[in-house]
Amino acid sequence: MRLNAHRAATIVTAIILSLVSFQSAAYCRPGSSNPAALPTQTGLPAQPGLPSRSAQPDAKNLPIVVLAAGVPKPIAARRNYDEIFAELQAGGIKVFLPFTQYQEAPEPKSLGFETDFFPQYKKDDKAINAMKRHGIKLLVAAEILYPDGKFGAPSDDPLRKLIAWAGRENIYAVYAFDEPAHRGLPMSQSQALYQRVKSIDSTLPVVIVHAPILADTEKQLSETERTNYLSRVKQHSQWADIVVFDIYPIPKELAKLTGPYAHGRELGYSDLIPQYARWLKENLPTKKYGVVLQGFSMANHYDEATLKTIYSALPREVTSTIRTPSSRELDSMVGLAKTSGCSVIGWWGQSMLKTDTELKFWQELKRVSREINQRAK
């Protein structure tokens, strides 16, 4: 869900290289979808402890789960959880991932308030009680529960303590180790997490989030590498109940994303969202699926010095494309996710919003979120 250091560096490189592309009149490359499918992924051998293969519920008959990873920095910095959860409730957002990072590069920076939700487990805790009052559920990050992928003794498991403290009814799911195929994590880590969660509470879902395929990296330019990446995505996704791709497509020329059926060509969101939803439905038919969408501008990731360097290297025609999604784009992305059968729609990056103008964008994001299930009726 997050934009890890490798992907952030890729975007910086893309921004700088776009200057060369712009000057050579090749700045915008074709991005139309090619419907020809990649080679079909073969079935994986049965393994002990695999998730049950129950039929996927009809998403059309269920409310779409809307989740958010954090809130804008000025709101989060006040640490007023009644205010935070009132904001989410007003936006129709039902699930909250505690996330207060406000910068990605040149180094990650965070307010560090994620620990307000664990591990102190106080009965009078302001954060968890405010969450309950506003009817919001918690998405629990495995990377905070189990740092470095170390699980410890089952009898002293932090998830067990969290459930006892917060109440199972107030926890939506466990968020698995982020983008495991992209980061090169072993499948055994996803498996171990899934089995640990189910050993504690078999009803608690595990959500796994994957990175989309980048169109401009050396490792994923070939058809073979793209197919291998999707194969790793499928393997990790065995150990989850809900499978999600994060898609941050604005602007297309700098996002430089491709889809499972595009043979490496750059695509815009109108092709990306349906392609990834189609791939999930075809390759993981027993899983619920969804997307995490862009709640930020690419400029929000960087400190002022880095941003100044980037902007000074580019003409205005390029820098003017770096922005938050427009209202029309927000509506369109959500509409595509819904018509593609997504049962989960999430937002990431809004924790990096800081200015008054960016807070107006946050209001639009809430408006779109609020309308998701209103339109579904």
For 52-63, the pLDDT digits (tens) are 554 454 545 679
Mean pLDDT computed over 1-25: 48
For residue 73, being part of any structural domain is answered with: yes
Q: Which two tokens stand for residue 120?
A: 């102190």
> What would the mean pLDDT of 350-357 be, rounded to a whole number?
96
Residue 8 lies in a domain: no
Task: Please give the backbone phi and psi of residue 227, each rounded to the nearest 5 degrees, phi first.
Answer: -65, -40
- Judge whether 27 lies within some domain: no
Q: Is the pLDDT of residue 48 over 70?
A: no
pLDDT higher than threshold 60 for residue 148: yes
- Crossing angle (nearest 10°) for helices 126-133 and 81-90: 30
Residue 30 clears pLDDT 80, i.e. is over it: no
Q: Is residue 17 part of a domain?
A: no
Is the pLDDT assigned to residue 303 strictly greater than 80? yes
Predicted local distance difference test score (pLDDT) of residue 119: 61
For residue range 82-98, list pLDDT tens digits in order.
999 999 999 999 999 99
Share of the chain above pLDDT 70, in %: 80
What average pLDDT score do residues 214-240 get?
A: 87
Q: What is the C-alpha to C-alpha distance for residues 208 and 340, in angstroms, rounded to an integer?
A: 19
Average pLDDT, the chain: 86
pLDDT: which is higher, 313 or 19 = 313
Count of structural domains within the chain: 1
Return the pLDDT at 315.
Answer: 85
Residue 317: predicted pLDDT = 86
- Collapsing DSSP to helix, strand or coil, 52 comes out as coil
Give the number of C-alpha atoms closer than 13 A to the C-alpha of residue 71, restricted to the C-beta side: 24
237 assigned to some structural domain: yes
pTM for the full predicted model: 0.86
Q: Which residue has the tokens 């490189």?
A: 13
Q: What is the mean pLDDT of residues 219-225?
A: 76
pLDDT value at 33 more than 50: no
Task: Residue 66: give the domain boundaries.
Answer: 58-376
Over 80: is that where the pLDDT of 121 sits? Answer: no
Check residues 52 and 349 and name the one with the higher pLDDT. 349
User: Does the pLDDT value for residue 39 go beyond 70?
Assistant: no
Q: With residue 88 as reference, give the H or E element that holds it.
A: helix 81-90
Residue 28 lies in a domain: no
* 37 belongs to a structural domain: no
CATH classification at residue 164: 3.20.20.60
Candidates 78, 93, 90; CA nearest to 139 is 93
> Residue 61 is encoded by which pair of tokens?
């008959």
Instruction: Kindly state whether residue 127 falls inside one of the protein's structural domains.
Output: yes
